[in-house]
């Protein structure tokens, strides 16, 4: 809620939530706090998070060093290495950076800040993630013109309030191809254009005490380092041509982008979501917490391996209600959230499997393309 208060003080004037009916979240927060107190648990991470951090970073870097010093000559082995790195590039985002930037990885604020910067080492920008994800997406989930996760290129339509074009009839088929270009877009174009846009809207101050110039220089520095170790070094050290290196760079990013999109999009772009549209300064009919529950979907709650790999982001309802609580607690918290939502006559959306979530997301893409 501190983020929400910061936003309301800026020149960028967003819509406001209904504050008259907040009984649901009050009851939920009370029961959640009681759960942690009763069980003597800390809301942040534990040793398991440290192990996962070591594992994810090692799994990402090990094949890279094998490529450099393993005398690899086969192009398809290089492709396999790139795919593997893409899988764990996404894993680093899910399981380390995401919790750290939310401040839920550790009670140690400095450690959160350090691990949050890991995104800069895999082609992203921490300041942009804080604004786009923490500030805009988390505060205005599925709200047209404010949640940039549904602010898509013209050939995609993620909101019923967006303009519909003829080509959208086929987006349920081709969207999956473009999902793979998510992180490549961030690393090459979007991070720079987004930073400029956030400056114009006065949003940088909501996530950082540093200036626009500082963050621009920071992005340029880390992006240069990133391109050096992912493109220049392999081109100089290995026997592969620059074309082969660039193709593998693309393969790595496509895999990472596809995985990230397949986890994030089925959590919100679904038939069950209510979406909202309100002009600057106007009110949204529901309260903040109820809006979260109505526009978020959990999936595959029994799949322990998926839960581990995606950093609990298959429990999106719990994450959106309690982003400052580490994902290791979401499975247990889901029982409390579900019962409290039912008590207050609110929906609790959950898909039994990951496959079902992808299927219904595809159905929503089809629906958005035709109505």
Q: Among 228, 222, 344, which residue's Cα sits nearest to residue 286?
A: 344
Q: Extract long-range pairs of 314-318: CB within 8 Å, 24+ residues apart.
A: 314/263, 314/354, 316/267, 316/268, 317/292, 317/293, 317/348, 317/349, 317/350
Handedness of CA 39, 103, 141, 90 (dihedral sign): negative
Q: Name the nearest CA neighbour of 67 among 187, 207, 245.
A: 245
**Residue 127 to residue 114: CA distance in whole angstroms:** 13
The span from the CA of 86 to the CA of 91, in Å, is 9
Distance, CA of 23 to CA of 69 (rounded, Å): 60
314 to 24, 147, 148, 301, 310: CA distances (angstroms) = 22, 20, 20, 7, 7
**pTM tops 0.85:** yes
- Give the Cα separation of 56 and 107 in Å (integer): 21
pLDDT at position 14 is 79
Planar angle of CA 41, 140, 14, nearest 5 degrees? 130
Which of 226, 228, 237, 227 lies closest to 70 in space, CA to CA? 237
Give the per-residue pLDDT at 357: 98
Token pair 């997406």 is at which residue?
Answer: 137
Q: Within 10 Å of residue 253's Cβ, how many Cβ atoms?
A: 26
For residue 7, the model assigns a pLDDT of 46
Look up residue 304 and give its two tokens: 């322990």
Cα 100 to Cα 245: distance, rounded to the nearest angstrom: 31
DSSP, collapsed to helix, strand or coil, labels residue 301 as coil
- The C-alpha atoms of residue 213 and residue 196 are separated, in whole angstroms, by 10
What pLDDT was estimated at residue 277? 83
User: How far apart (Å, rounded) are the C-alpha atoms in residues 145 and 201?
Assistant: 13
Of 137, 133, 131, 174, give the one whose Cα is nearest residue 153: 174
- Of 127, 179, 124, 131, nearest in space to 152 by CA: 179
* d(C-alpha 243, C-alpha 249), whole Å: 10
Give the pLDDT confidence score for residue 209 in this predicted structure. Answer: 85
Positions in the chain short of pLDDT 50: 1-10
Per residue in 1-55, pLDDT (tens digit) is: 444 444 444 456 778 898 887 899 999 999 999 999 999 999 999 999 999 999 9
Task: Tell me how far apart the alpha carbons of residues 126 and 121 are, in angstroms, rounded to a whole number.
Answer: 10
| Contact predicate 336/31, CB 8 Å | yes
Q: Which of 141, 132, 102, 100 is nearest to 117 (CA)?
A: 100
pLDDT at 284: 87
pLDDT the model gives residue 16: 87
pLDDT for position 45: 93
H or E element, residue 284: strand 283-284
Q: Measured between alpha carbons, how far is 170 from 355 in angstroms, rounded to an integer?
A: 20
CA 189, CA 70: separation in Å to the nearest integer? 33
Hey, is 299 helix, strand or coil? strand
**What are the domain boundaries of the chain?**
2-368
Residue 283, helix vs strand vs coil: strand
């Amino acid at each position: 809620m501190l983020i929400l208060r910061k936003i309301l003080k800026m020149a960028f004037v967003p819509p406001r939530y209904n504050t008259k009916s907040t009984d649901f979240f009050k009851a939920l927060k009370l029961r959640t706090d009681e759960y942690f107190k009763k069980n003597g648990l800390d809301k942040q991470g534990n040793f398991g998070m440290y192990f996962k951090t070591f594992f994810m970073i090692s799994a990402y870097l090990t094949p890279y060093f094998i490529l450099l010093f393993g005398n690899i000559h086969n192009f398809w082995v290089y492709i396999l290495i790139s795919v593997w790195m893409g899988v764990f590039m996404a894993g680093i985002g899910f399981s380390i950076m995401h919790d750290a930037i939310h401040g839920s990885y550790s009670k140690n604020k400095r450690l959160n800040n350090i691990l949050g910067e890991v995104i800069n080492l895999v082609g992203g920008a921490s300041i942009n993630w804080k604004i786009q994800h923490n500030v805009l997406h988390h505060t205005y989930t599925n709200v047209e013109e404010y949640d940039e996760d549904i602010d898509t290129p013209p050939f995609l339509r993620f909101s019923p309030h967006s303009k519909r074009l003829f080509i959208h009839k086929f987006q349920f088929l081709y969207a999956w191809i473009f999902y793979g270009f998510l992180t490549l877009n961030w690393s090459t174009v979007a991070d720079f254009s987004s930073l400029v846009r956030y400056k114009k809207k006065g949003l940088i101050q909501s996530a950082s005490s540093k200036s626009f110039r500082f963050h621009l220089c920071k992005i340029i520095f880390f992006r240069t380092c990133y391109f050096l170790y992912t493109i220049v070094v392999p081109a100089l050290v290995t026997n592969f041509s620059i074309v082969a290196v660039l193709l593998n760079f693309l393969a790595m990013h496509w895999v990472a982008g596809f995985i990230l999109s397949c986890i994030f999009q089925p959590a919100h772009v679904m038939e069950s979501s209510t979406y909202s549209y309100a002009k600057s300064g106007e009110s949204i009919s529901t309260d903040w917490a109820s809006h979260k529950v109505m526009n978020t979907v959990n999936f595959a709650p029994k799949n322990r391996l998926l839960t581990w790999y995606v950093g609990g982001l298959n429990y999106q309802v719990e994450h959106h209600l309690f982003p400052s609580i580490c994902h290791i607690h979401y499975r247990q918290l889901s029982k409390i959230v579900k019962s409290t939502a039912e008590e207050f006559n609110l929906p609790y959306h959950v898909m039994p499997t990951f496959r079902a979530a992808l299927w219904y997301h595809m159905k929503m893409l089809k629906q958005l393309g035709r109505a």
